[in-house]
Amino acid sequence: MKNGLFIDTWGWITLLNKREPRHKEIRSFYSDFRNKETSIYTTDYVLDETFTLLFRRLPFPIAAKAMSFIKDAIHDGYLLIEWITPERFKQAESLRLSLKGNKPFYARVVYKDVNGKFTQLLPNPHRRDNYFNGGTIYELPSGEDGFELEVSPPFGNEGLTVYASTSQLGEIEIEPNSGMYGIKTRAAQIGSKTRGVILKEKETDKEQKVPAEFSEVDAVIKTVR
């Protein structure tokens, strides 16, 4: 490694988290060092740990902005990475999902792996409540959950489906599996059972009946080596 500034996990966390006691001092030091046009270094292991801690300690939007700060520094060429094991670093990148509704809602999050196996990520054995307040960003997985979503073989097309409703969702057959729930219900029936069992009219404050609202969002995730 050439002469320059090496930033470890503590350095990144302190630089990017305004709540850290020495944040202003480290930010000033970092800016001064950049102005000297001297190389700044870190490692893939340090960034892996930094990203994990940022998303555990900070709200999702702030953590995502901090991650972009580091990625921009790499792209612009003034932050150089010493790669310990590039393959392992890519495979260890964690997937994260954020949920936000414009009103209170109930949700179910289903994951489909490359082999077509379905798993219920939310609710799960560690986070059984599936009711969420409107206007609030929820992260999955979070500190409450007993799992991480890591990119690992086999690679290919995977999927996430979020079912949301203003009324409680219908039941599907599930069984505990590694901090999540394996889904026993047939794939073709997951959506219909989620939508059609418990949806019903509810009373407003004025005692006027309104129909429950339902939304289903799909996302395709392509993982590569």
Nearest to 66 by CA among 119, 128, 17, 10: 17
Query: What pLDDT sits at residue 79?
Result: 92
Asked which of 91, 121, 142 is the last residue of a domain, the reply is: 91
Query: What pLDDT sits at residue 1?
Result: 43
- Which secondary-structure segment (H or E) carries 175? strand 174-177
Nearest to 69 by CA among 136, 149, 19, 61: 61
pLDDT in tens, 210-223: 568 899 999 888 77
Q: How far apart are CA 192 and CA 200, in angstroms?
A: 15
Asked which of 91, 114, 145 is the last residue of a domain, the reply is: 91
Do residue 20 and residue 58 come from a single domain?
A: yes
189, two tokens: 């029936």
Find the DSSP H helices in 17-121.
Answer: 23-35, 44-57, 60-76, 86-91
pLDDT in tens, 88-119: 555 555 677 888 889 999 999 999 999 999 99
Do residue 87 and residue 150 come from a single domain?
A: no
For residue 146, the enclosing domain spans 97-223
Q: How far apart are CA 86 and CA 88, in angstroms?
A: 6
Token match 């995730």: residue? 221
CATH number at residue 59: 3.40.50.1010
66, two tokens: 């901090």
Do residue 109 and residue 205 come from a single domain?
A: yes
Phi, psi of 107 (to 5 degrees): -140, 155
Query: What pLDDT sits at residue 177?
Result: 87
- Report yes or no on whether pTM surpasses 0.85: no
Do residue 86 and residue 101 come from a single domain?
A: no
20 CA to centre of own chain: 23
Query: What pLDDT sits at residue 162?
Result: 94
How many domains does the chain contain in total?
A: 2
CB 89 within 8 A of CB 44: yes
Compute how many other C-beta atoms are within 10 angstroms of the C-beta atom of residue 155: 13
Cα Dmax for the chain: 72
Do residue 105 and residue 205 come from a single domain?
A: yes
76, two tokens: 């612009």
Nearest to 121 by CA among 135, 133, 107: 107
Query: What pLDDT sits at residue 161?
Result: 94
Do residue 207 and residue 181 come from a single domain?
A: yes
Nearby residues of 58 by Cβ (< 8 Å), 6 or more positions away: 17, 66
90, two tokens: 């890519």
Asked which of 91, 116, 140 is the last residue of a domain, the reply is: 91
Do residue 183 and residue 104 come from a single domain?
A: yes
In this prediction, the residues of the chain whose per-residue pLDDT falls under 50 are 1, 197-200, 207-208
Q: How far apart are CA 94 and CA 63, in angstroms?
A: 13
Do residue 105 and residue 212 come from a single domain?
A: yes
Do residue 123 and residue 78 come from a single domain?
A: no
